[in-house]
Amino acid sequence: MHITTNRLILRYFDIFDVNDVYEYSKNPNVSQPACWISHPNLEYSKKIVEKFIIKKEIAIYHKMDKKVIGSIGVFEPVNPNLKGMEISYSLSELYWHKGIMQEALNYALPYIFKYYKTSSIYCCSLADNYKSIHTIEAMGFSYLFDYLYDYVPNSEAKIVKYYELKYENFYYFKNTFSIKSYKEFRSINNWVELSTIQYQQIKNTKIKIAIYNKNKLIGIARCISDFSYLFLICDVMVLKDYQGMGIGKKMLKHLIKYIKYNYKGYKKIYIMSLKGKEGFYEKLGFSKDICTGLTIESEDD
């Protein structure tokens, strides 16, 4: 496998990843919440990486820093009563609170559903690992039950919270969409037809987002920006059959996070809203108290 995201490459492990794995796995802040032993030396990490290679664990490679910073494991559920596949994950502490794991899972989960031909993916977390629980819930997993986990090294069994993500309830994002899809969404929403030149300019928009469910494109949005100070979100569109289900909210939350993580110098994020729809955007943190959007429409001569 080889999946490229904005900041990452997801691929299978290689024996040359040993140094990178040791660098983050020797940290008890990483190992203990994941219920495995902190790596004591490079030789131990080598043995672990060899197992990763055999089991086809997914390496999270940071493109800019040119190193592996985490992993995603896929295996049969620890709880024998569950049918499907289970995942676990770890991430270097240096990359916490940057949306890295959600970015990795957003692209890894569709692959796992397809490759393992499963309709359910499970994930568990220690009950007091609130950061991990936040990530799990943000990806759309639903709580199932508490479970006594007795595979904890050098410790007594601990309670973990089990979560499930069903294929039909999984929504994932891509940072692009075709101009053909854009035209179709405008037509479905009865928006004015644009000229060929206008469509070409829209095609060149750098910041785009598309949301999918069961491999079906169900919503899109784009953002116009100078890439340093101001960002204007516009053309937020969701298929009618999916409206009222929180899809637009999911999409915009993801887009806002994308801007915040990738454009550190941003100062303001604006959004274009139709009259009567302002309340929807206010729930996402936008305020109409700061400024009012006004427009001038062109007139045919």
Domain boundaries defined on the chain: 2-168, 172-282
Percentage of the chain surpassing pLDDT 90?
Answer: 71
In this predicted structure, what is the pLDDT of residue 263?
Answer: 87
Tell whether the model's pLDDT for residue 292 goes beyond 80.
no
* 107-142 per-position pLDDT tens digit: 999 999 999 999 999 999 999 999 999 999 999 999
In this predicted structure, what is the pLDDT of residue 265?
Answer: 74
* 178-228 per-position pLDDT tens digit: 999 999 999 998 898 999 999 999 989 999 999 999 999 999 999 999 888
Q: Cβ of 240: how many Cβ atoms within 10 Å? A: 9
Q: Which residue has the higher pLDDT, 295 or 114?
A: 114
Tell me yes or no: is domain 172-282 CATH 2.40.110.10: no
* Superfamily classification of domain 2-168: Gcn5-related N-acetyltransferase (GNAT) (3.40.630.30)
In this predicted structure, what is the pLDDT of residue 154?
Answer: 65
This prediction has a pTM of: 0.87
Question: Looking at beta carbons, which pairs linking 174-178 to residues 24 or more positions away fall under 8 Å?
Answer: 174/209, 174/210, 174/212, 175/6, 175/207, 175/208, 175/209, 175/210, 175/258, 176/208, 176/210, 177/208, 177/209, 177/210, 177/217, 177/220
Cα distances (Å, whole numbers) of residue 204 to 207, 224, 265 = 9, 10, 22
Q: Which residue has the higher pLDDT, 287 or 251?
A: 251
**Helix, strand or coil, per DSSP, at residue 61:** strand
In this predicted structure, what is the pLDDT of residue 299?
Answer: 64
In this predicted structure, what is the pLDDT of residue 301?
Answer: 46
**Cα 194 from Cα 148, distance rounded (Å):** 59
Cα distances (Å, whole numbers) of residue 12 to 51, 55, 73, 186, 269 = 12, 9, 10, 40, 37
* 33-88 per-position pLDDT tens digit: 888 999 999 999 999 999 999 999 999 999 999 999 999 999 999 888 899 999 99
2-168 and 172-282 agree in CATH topology: yes
